[in-house]
Amino acid sequence: MVLSFTHGIILGFAAGFILVLVILNESSYSLSFVSRFTKINLYQRSNIRRMINTSYDDNQVFVFPDECPLVRAYLDVVRDTVCGLALRTREHTFGYDNQIHPMDINQRIKGLDWPLIGVTMIGQKRLINIEWALRFVIANEVSGDFIECGVWRGGSSIFARAVLKALNNKDKHVWLADSFQGLPKARTKNDNDNWSKMEYLKVSLEEVQENFRSFNLLDNHVHFCKGYFVDSLPRCNISQIAVLRMDGDMYESTMDQLFNLYSKLQLGGVIIIDDYAITECKRAIHDFRSWHNITDKIQLIPGDQIGRYWIKGQNIEVQRNRYIPLISSTKHYTQ
Ligand SMILES: C[S@@+](CC[C@H](N)C(=O)[O-])C[C@H]1O[C@@H](n2cnc3c(N)ncnc32)[C@H](O)[C@@H]1O
Ligand SMILES: *[C@@H]1O[C@H](CO)[C@@H](O)[C@H](O)[C@H]1NC(C)=O
Ligand SMILES: *[C@@H]1O[C@H](CO)[C@@H](O)[C@H](O)[C@H]1NC(C)=O
Ligand SMILES: *[C@@H]1O[C@H](CO)[C@@H](O)[C@H](O)[C@H]1NC(C)=O
Ligand SMILES: *[C@@H]1O[C@H](CO)[C@@H](O)[C@H](O)[C@H]1NC(C)=O
């Protein structure tokens, strides 16, 4: 095709106009991303503009442009396998009455039942939230690792490792902190001893490692901090945290995590509270936030009723004097 001079000029202008539109669109996209999540300018890093916003289910997952489509397929399979959904009618629920019941898929999606075979009880929606959080910190170049405190059979940490591996992330490690023998007795009157009696919640380190191996995901990027949080977390050799996932049910377990780990959570990092629906856990969250004047917005997890998260937008100085009464073995109440 031969173009006249005029045609050339018009085409040139049109191409330039489209280019300007694309640039404007990209920058407004990144700006709306910023305002939607937080005020701090950390999110203005340029690589956010390389991301594509796709809507996955009722959650938004940010997909990297160089990502192989099989990543999505692989993560869908791992996610629905660790929570037992993929097993469908072969999976069952371990009832609070100690009896085995057929699984209700809608309960499992929201993590409202106890799996018989599945290796995580958090359900599909909170697993999606883990993937979202990891993609969020990678996209925003938040340094540090993923840690879950309270891992049970390890399934949600297995999924976290799968996400990082599938995204070919080499620098983020996965840490699992647990007693690997269930919940402790109460140290203070903030909790009771009921949790410590639940045999179903006692899972050994060896069993968790075996679960990792069955997904071929036990490698040198996976670390374990064994012991009751009050002793193990001060010794846990994690230096920077990008995603802190808290799942220890009790007031004291939640406080042990916050006092020992919150200062390691990087700005722009994500803190996930699995047990916000449990009165003691919720109270610990609100006590810690008010003692430290934390105002970062507590967010709902789409499709889920139990969990919450927030993005760390302000550094605080941890008030250790508030923790001392919680460590001592004499039973007293903090308030
Ligand atoms: C509800 S389960 C965690 C569920 C798990 N996140 C999942 O994906 O299925 C609670 C876990 O927290 C652990 N845990 C609670 N409080 C603890 C503490 N103070 N020290 C150590 N482990 C604790 C228990 O051993 C148990 O494995
Ligand atoms: C991302 O996609 C969702 C769903 O299509 C849309 O509601 C939202 O506004 C988009 N966000 C941005 C920053 O483009
Ligand atoms: C502990 O468990 C017992 C027996 O299941 C129950 O009666 C009691 O109310 C529980 N205590 C608390 C404080 O929840
Ligand atoms: C703890 O971490 C540091 C820095 O990552 C490392 O040099 C050291 O060997 C680790 N110590 C243990 C006991 O794992
Ligand atoms: C929290 O805010 C109050 C009121 O402004 C102030 O008195 C207190 O020192 C603050 N606490 C911390 C830990 O920043």
64 CB-near residues (< 8 Å, 6+ apart): 50, 51, 52, 135, 139, 167
| Gap from CA of 334 to ligand 3 centroid (Å) | 21
Bridge partners of residue 226, in order along the sequence: 178
Q: What is the mean pLDDT of residues 293-312?
A: 96
Residue 103 is encoded by which pair of tokens?
A: 């699984």
Contact 96, 122 (CB under 8 A): no
**Contact at 8 Å (CB) between 119 and 87?**
no
What is the biggest distance separating any 2 CA atoms in the chain, rounded to whole angstroms?
A: 91
Q: How far apart are CA 86 and CA 98, in angstroms?
A: 23
Mean pLDDT computed over every residue of the chain: 86
Instruction: Please write the tens of the pLDDT for every residue from 56-94.
Output: 666 667 788 888 889 999 999 999 999 999 999 999 999
Q: Which helix (H) or strand (E) holds 61?
A: strand 59-63
pLDDT band at 51 (very low <50, low <70, confident <90, very high): low
* CA trace torsion 158, 57, 276, 96 (10° rounding): -70
* 24 within some domain: no
The answer to whether the beta carbons of residues 43 and 136 sit under 8 Å apart is: no
pLDDT at residue number 131: 95
Residue 14 placed within a domain = no
Is 25 within the bounds of a domain? Answer: no
- Answer yes or no: is 334 within a domain: no
- pLDDT at position 164, please? 98
3-state helix, strand, coil in the chain (%, to 5): 45, 15, 40
Q: Which atom of ligand 3 is nearest to the CA of 193?
A: 1
Ligand with minimal distance to 189 CA: 3
d(CA 215, CA 119): 11
Q: Which residue's C-alpha comes closest to atom 3 of ligand 4?
A: 237
d(CA 220, CA 228): 23
CB 150 within 8 A of CB 228: no
Residue 125 to residue 58: CA distance in whole angstroms: 9
Residue 37: the pLDDT is 36
Closest C-alpha to 281, from 239, 250, 306: 250
CA distances, 332 to each of 192, 244, 258 (Å): 12, 28, 20
d(CA 270, CA 138): 11
Q: Whose CA is nearest to atom 7 of ligand 1?
A: 120
Residue identifier of the C-alpha nearest atom 8 of ligand 5? 293
H-helix or E-strand spanning residue 69: helix 69-82
Nearest ligand 5 atom, CA 291:
13
Express each pLDDT in 12-45 by its tens digit: 545 544 444 333 333 333 333 333 333 333 343 4
The span from the first CA to the last CA of the chain, in angstroms, equals: 82
Ligand nearest to the CA of 48: 2
Note whether 91 and 117 are within 8 A (CB): yes
**What phi and psi values does residue 295 have, to the nearest 5 degrees?**
-120, 5
CA distance 176 to 221: 11
Is residue 257 in some structural domain?
Answer: yes
Q: Is 47 in the pocket of ligand 3 (CB under 6 A)?
A: no
Specify the pLDDT at position 64. 85
Residue 125 counted as domain residue: yes
Burial of 138 (0-12, 13-18, 19+ CB in 10 A): buried
Mean pLDDT to the nearest integer, 212-237:
98
Residue 96: the pLDDT is 85
For the ranges 11-20, 61-70, 171-180, 257-266, the lowest mean pLDDT is seen at 11-20
**Which domain, by its residues, includes 230?**
56-327
* pLDDT band (50, 70, 90) for residue 133: very high
- Residue among 258, 288, 292, 293 whose CB has most ligand 5 atoms within 8 A, to mutate: 293
Domain of 206, CATH number, reads 3.40.50.150
For residue 8, report the distance from its CA to the centre of ligand 2, in Å. 37
CA of 122 to the centre of ligand 2 (A): 26
Q: If you average pLDDT over residues 231-257, what whole number do you get?
A: 98
Nearest to 149 by CA among 41, 50, 257, 289: 257
Question: Does residue 299 lie within any of the structural domains?
Answer: yes
Q: What is the DSSP letter of 115?
A: B
Which of 179, 199, 225 gets mutated to test ligand 1 (max ligand atoms within 8 A of its CB)?
Answer: 179
Cβ(194) to ligand 3 under 6 A?
yes
In a domain, 21, yes or no: no
pLDDT given for residue 52 in this prediction: 61
Number of structural domains the chain divides into = 1
User: Global pTM?
Assistant: 0.84
